[in-house]
Amino acid sequence: MNIPTHDESRPMINFRLLLTVLLTATLAACVSAPNRPTTPQNNAPPPIYQNRAPSAPPPATNFREQANPALVREIEALWRTFPGTTGIAVKRIDGAWEFGFRSDEYFPQQSVSKLWVAMTLLDKIDQGQASLSDPIRIGKEDLTVFHQPMAVEVERNGAVVKTVYTLLEMALASSDNTANDALLRHAGGPDAVRRFIAKNSLGKIRFGPGERLLQSGIAGMEWRQNLSYGRTFYAARAKIPVEQRRQSLEAYLADPVDGASPMAIAHALDKLARGQLLSDNSTKLLQSILKRTRSGPNRLKAGVPAGWEFLHKTGTGQDLGAVSTGYNDIGIMTAPDGTRYAVVVMLGDTTASIPERMRLMQAVTRAVGRYHPG
CB 256 within 8 A of CB 206: yes
Angle formed by the axes of helices 280-291 and 262-273, to 10°? 120
155-195 tens-digit pLDDT: 999 999 999 999 999 999 999 999 999 999 999 999 999 99
Determine what percent of the chain is predicted with pLDDT higher than 90. Answer: 81
In the predicted structure, residue 2 carries a pLDDT above the cut 50: no
Q: How confident is the model at residue 94 (pLDDT cuts 50, 70, 90)?
A: confident
Give 333-338 contacts, CB < 8 A, sequence gap 24+: 333/304, 333/308, 333/309, 333/365, 333/368, 333/369, 334/308, 334/309, 334/310, 335/308, 335/369, 335/372, 335/374, 336/307, 336/308, 336/374, 337/374, 338/94
Band of pLDDT at residue 46, cut at 50, 70 and 90: very low
What pLDDT score was predicted for residue 52? 36
Q: Please state the domain extents for the chain.
A: 64-370
Is 374 a residue whose pLDDT tops 60?
yes
Q: Are 111 and 315 in contact (CB under 8 A)?
A: yes
* Distance spanning both ends of the chain, measured CA to CA: 86
In this prediction, residue 95 has a pLDDT band, given cuts at 50, 70 and 90, of confident
Mean pLDDT of 232-257: 97
How is domain 64-370 classified at the CATH fold level? Beta-lactamase (3.40.710)
d(CA 307, CA 297): 16
Residue of higher predicted confidence among 304 and 12: 304
pLDDT (mean) for 32-48: 35
What is the spatial distance between Cα 287 and Cα 271, in angstroms, rounded to a whole number? 12
Kindly report the average pLDDT of the chain as a whole number: 87
pLDDT of residue 15: 33
pLDDT of residue 367: 98
The upper half-sphere exposure of residue 291, i.e. CA atoms within 13 Å in the direction of its Cβ, equals 12
For the ranges 25-29, 156-160, 286-290, the lowest mean pLDDT is seen at 25-29
6 has a pLDDT exceeding 70: no
Give pLDDT tens digits for 53-79.
Answer: 444 554 545 677 899 999 999 999 999
How does residue 8 score in pLDDT terms, banded at 50, 70 and 90?
very low
User: Is 47 a residue whose pLDDT tops 50?
Assistant: no
CA angle, 275 as apex, 274 and 278 as ends, to 5°? 150
**Residues 123-158, buried b or exposed e (16+ Cβ, 10 A)?**
bbbbeeebebeeebebeeebbbbbbbebbeebeeee
pLDDT average, residue stretch 86-104: 95
Q: Residue 38 pLDDT more than 90?
A: no
